[in-house]
Amino acid sequence: MGRVFNFSAGPSMLPEAVLKKAAADMLDYNGCGMSVMEMSHRTPEYEAIINGAEALLRELMNIPDNYKVLFLQGGASSQFAMIPLNLLKTGKADYVITGQWSKKAAQEAEKYGTVNRVASSADKTFSYIPKLDPATFDPEADYFHITFNNTIYGTRYTKLPDTGNVPIVADISSNALSEPIDVSKFGMLYAGAQKNMGPAGVTVVIIREDLIGHAKEGTPTMFDYQIHADNGSMYNTPPTYAIYILKMVLEWLKELGGIDAMHEINKKKAAILYDFLDSSKMFRGTVVKEDRSLMNVPFVTDSDELNAKFIKEAKAAGFVNLKGHRTVGGMRASIYNAMPVEGVEALVAFMKEFEKNN
Ligand SMILES: *Cc1c(COP(=O)(O)O)cnc(C)c1O
């Protein structure tokens, strides 16, 4: 079997060029006579990789100098604890609840402080981003947490809340590198890499320097941003191979024209799919139009049976991982950076054919 069109929400597709390069490098990286996997992280060769990854990320995302870039482990889920452990001072934080991930983030923060849930879209299965009223924000909160793109429900913020001096902390696991993000508007951004940046195993944290160095007493060493910042993400062994792949993904992105160019392609891909969903008599999107994600596109038919039939036949035709999250049902097509336009066009052609035949 050749390569399929993989619509997985994560881990997800990687650019084929990156996988080929990794394959070519596998036994002998750059004349070192070994794989990157076998290499000490305390070597000049590896330092060039991790420093190169950071430099490229800074360049592509336009990260200001007063922000640290950290390559951590433990996934975005560990950040749910690291954030309150490091950022709480008054002990209070604001959270917007737009899905499972923000729910989990808020629950974890509650172990360490007081969480003010400023708004939620739970009433309509998280199919929209709630309108935010600054009167409900706590002006004394240590930070304001949002999930920028909601991987499971397929919503995204198009406008940031006005939080005044309260730093915004955003989970960008599923939209990092997909669209321009003005880093200076945030106190901190974080992402598990396995959606849009690279393989599972590395978690990227971009944090304003003044937010570092305030970890709660008793914070585990590995959960203290200061430790990682002071040691260039090498306090212990970093996820070396995942960072190496991330670096190649960033090189691929740069060659393609950077994040602005990628954003244009992503808008085009999303439009192909949403335009079809809006015109179809069988399929429909589940999210209000104005909050639709460019990355994760949930859709349904009116029948569970038809959904199951579609997923099965799509899989046989080479369109895999289209089953929706268990809390939404139906289908979800994740169309991250590595999904080519042709993949979305082919999916829509398949959906049209399915609609005609059923
Ligand atoms: C996948 C995902 C997570 C969880 O990431 P892990 O790296 O598995 O912990 C958190 N937030 C969002 C938005 C995600 O898409």
Tens place of pLDDT per residue across the chain (358 aa): 689 999 999 999 999 999 999 999 999 999 999 999 999 999 999 999 999 999 999 999 999 999 999 999 999 999 999 999 999 999 999 999 999 999 999 999 999 999 999 999 999 999 999 999 999 999 999 999 999 999 999 999 999 999 999 999 999 999 999 999 999 999 999 999 999 999 999 999 999 999 999 999 999 999 999 999 999 999 999 999 999 999 999 999 999 999 999 999 999 999 999 999 999 999 999 999 999 999 999 999 999 999 999 999 999 999 999 999 988 899 999 999 999 999 999 999 999 999 999 9
Exposure string of 308-325, with b = 16+ CB inside 10 Å and e = fewer, is eebbeebeeebbebbbbb
Report the C-alpha gap between 49 and 246 in whole angstroms.
10
Report the C-alpha gap between 310 and 331 in whole angstroms.
9
98 lines ligand 1 (CB under 6 A): no
Report the C-alpha gap between 325 and 32 in whole angstroms.
43
127 lines ligand 1 (CB under 6 A): no
Helix, strand, coil percentages, rounded to 5, for the chain = 40, 15, 45
Point out the catalytic residue in the list 94, 101, 142, 323.
101
Tokens 């200061």 appear where?
226
243 lines ligand 1 (CB under 6 A): no
Find out whether 149 and 101 touch, Cβ atoms under 8 Å.
no
| Residue 195 is among the residues annotated as catalytic for this protein | yes
145 CA → ligand 1 middle, Å? 14
28 CA → ligand 1 middle, Å? 33
Which residue, judged by its Cα, is nearest atom 12 of ligand 1? 173
Point out the catalytic residue in the list 68, 94, 142, 195.
195
Quick one: which of 90, 144, 131, 92 has its CA closest to 114?
A: 92
Exposure string of 84-98, with b = 16+ CB inside 10 Å and e = fewer, is bbbbbeeebbbbbbb
151 lines ligand 1 (CB under 6 A): yes
108 lines ligand 1 (CB under 6 A): no
φ, ψ of residue 67 in degrees (nearest 5):
-120, 140
3-state secondary structure of 19: helix
* CA 151 to ligand 1: nearest atom: 15
| Residue 312 is among the residues annotated as catalytic for this protein | no
Domains of the chain: 17-255 (3.40.640.10), 258-357 (3.90.1150.10)
Beta strands in 104-234 (DSSP E): 114-120, 144-147, 149-150, 155-156, 168-171, 188-192, 203-208
Report the C-alpha gap between 81 and 107 in whole angstroms.
9
φ, ψ of residue 178 in degrees (nearest 5):
-95, -25
pTM, entire model = 0.98
* CA 99 to ligand 1: nearest atom: 13
Tokens 């260039």 appear where?
232
Sign of torsion, CA 29 32 34 37?
A: negative
243 CA → ligand 1 middle, Å? 17
